[in-house]
Amino acid sequence: MLFLLACALSAVNFVAAVEDTRFEVTGGNRIAGDGRIVGGSPASDGQWPWQVAIYTSLSQENYTFTCGGSLISKNYVLSAAHCFNRPNITGILLRIGVHGLTNPSSNTVERYTNSYRIHEDYNASTYKTDVSLIYFNDIVTYNSYIQPISLPAATVTVSGGESCVISGFGETNGTGQSIAQLRYANVDIIDTTTCNNWYSADNITVTNDQICAGFEAGGIDTCQGDSGGPLACRVSNSSDSPYVIQGITSFGVGCALARRPGVYTSIQSYVDWIVQHTISETGERIPLISDPGNGAMYHGLAVYSWLWLLGLHRCVQLIVE
């Protein structure tokens, strides 16, 4: 009886700990090429410590830079499904804490894996459900240069006019710079109705599980090589408020064109899927974070109950064993 009570309390603690951690291709995706964060600025080392560079191999020997990603736990990276929607991927190299592609600093760690999951409903024609998870077994140690970005709880949403940050890699063309340095820029969230009006001429429909971000005049945008990277937004209007990942760089028409903003997979629509396919496989607690002014600390009652039951289920497994 005492053991069962301890297990139940452990299950509660298991849930409670969640709150503690804190292209240019027309109509296509923004997969690796010679592009960059258009209109952005060079990032300083450790400024965006969740940024990951993803390389893929078709031979387990030669790895090619493919996409960006975001560290969300000690052994999971979040990215776009279209980054892996290709045959014969035999290996994945993750560079975490990376600041430059061609000359990684001593703060960069590398992890090799061949374990990834594309959302089962991903549609390569419409880029719907453009989300993927990459798992690596050898966990990373958090420091000033390597930190996870939290997932948003249900209370943390974005709306038109809100400013968020995009980040990614790529050569700065025409400058003679040989190091592909991480770059970032601020973009505004554009409401779905306005975005669909702008994209109607291209027969593109942006849905509620996608986010548009950029500017009506263009000039700042994600581009080739930025796919899979984060759209990071602060939890509140406060300048010291923590960032959460609200979007994954998915697709766009051209780069930085007027009335053609970048389109991002909305994380809010897939938090349950992400939680299900991370905690259930490894026990690692993916941090959810909420608006401190709201008081709701979890992503809805459904996830809270699911996590508690998962912790209790593990206790039952121990008894059986």
Q: pLDDT by residue (tens digit) across 248-290?
A: 999 999 888 999 999 999 999 999 999 999 975 666 667 678 6
Of 57, 70, 82, 291, which one is the catalytic site residue?
Answer: 82
Q: Which residue has the higher pLDDT, 241 or 300?
A: 241
Most confident among 1-10, 191-200, 217-226 (mean pLDDT):
191-200
pLDDT band at 121 (very low <50, low <70, confident <90, very high): very high
What six digits make up the tokens of 204? 């593109």
Nearest to 215 by CA among 178, 281, 163: 163
- How far is residue 147's CA from residue 158's CA, in Å, rounded to a whole number? 23
Position 105 scores a pLDDT of: 86
pLDDT band at 180 (very low <50, low <70, confident <90, very high): confident
> Residue 301: CA atoms inside 13 Å, Cβ hemisphere, count?
0
Most confident among 16-20, 138-142, 288-292 (mean pLDDT):
138-142
User: What average pLDDT does the structure give for the chain?
Assistant: 79
Position 302 scores a pLDDT of: 35
What six digits make up the tokens of 7? 């297990």
pLDDT digits (tens, 9 = 90+) for 26-67: 334 655 444 457 888 999 999 999 999 999 998 877 999 999
Q: Which residue has the higher pLDDT, 191 or 21?
A: 191
Which string of b and e fits 79-109 if b means at least 16 CB within 10 Å?
Answer: bbbbbbeeeebebbbbbbbbbbbeebeebbb
Annotated active-site residue 227? The verdict is yes
Nearest to 22 by CA among 153, 139, 145, 135: 153
Percent of the chain whose predicted confidence (pLDDT) is above 90: 56
Annotated active-site residue 240? The verdict is no
Annotated active-site residue 277? The verdict is no
Position 82 scores a pLDDT of: 95
pLDDT band at 154 (very low <50, low <70, confident <90, very high): confident
Position 280 scores a pLDDT of: 57
**Is the dihedral angle over the CA atoms 213, 216, 218, 220 positive or is it negative?**
negative
Q: Which residue has the higher pLDDT, 181 or 20?
A: 181
DSSP string, 245-314: EEEEEEEESSSS-TT--EEEEEGGGGHHHHHHHHHHHH-----EE--TTT---SSHHHHHHHHHHHHHHH
**What type of residue sits at position 258?**
A
What six digits make up the tokens of 182? 């991480």
Of 57, 79, 119, 130, which one is the catalytic site residue?
Answer: 130
Q: What are phi and psi of 261, to 5 degrees?
A: -70, 165
Q: Which helix (H) or strand (E) holds 16?
A: helix 2-16
Q: Name the least confident of 185-199, 225-239, 285-299.
A: 285-299
Nearest to 18 by CA among 238, 279, 240: 279
The SS3 call for residue 198 is helix
- How far is residue 190's CA from residue 199's CA, in Å, rounded to a whole number? 12
pLDDT digits (tens, 9 = 90+) for 57-98: 988 779 999 999 999 999 999 999 999 988 889 999 999 999
pLDDT for 108 beyond 90: yes
pLDDT band at 25 (very low <50, low <70, confident <90, very high): very low
Of 79, 227, 266, 290, which one is the catalytic site residue?
Answer: 227
**CB atoms inside a 10 Å sphere around CB 208:** 9
Q: Which residue has the higher pLDDT, 50 or 14?
A: 50
- How far is residue 283's CA from residue 140's CA, in Å, rounded to a whole number? 15
Q: Which residue has the higher pLDDT, 124 or 170?
A: 124
**Is the dihedral angle over the CA atoms 215, 218, 219, 223 positive or is it negative?**
positive
Geometric angle at alpha carbon 140, from 169 and 269, rounded to 5°: 65
Position 198 scores a pLDDT of: 97
Q: What are phi and psi of 187, to 5 degrees?
A: -135, 155
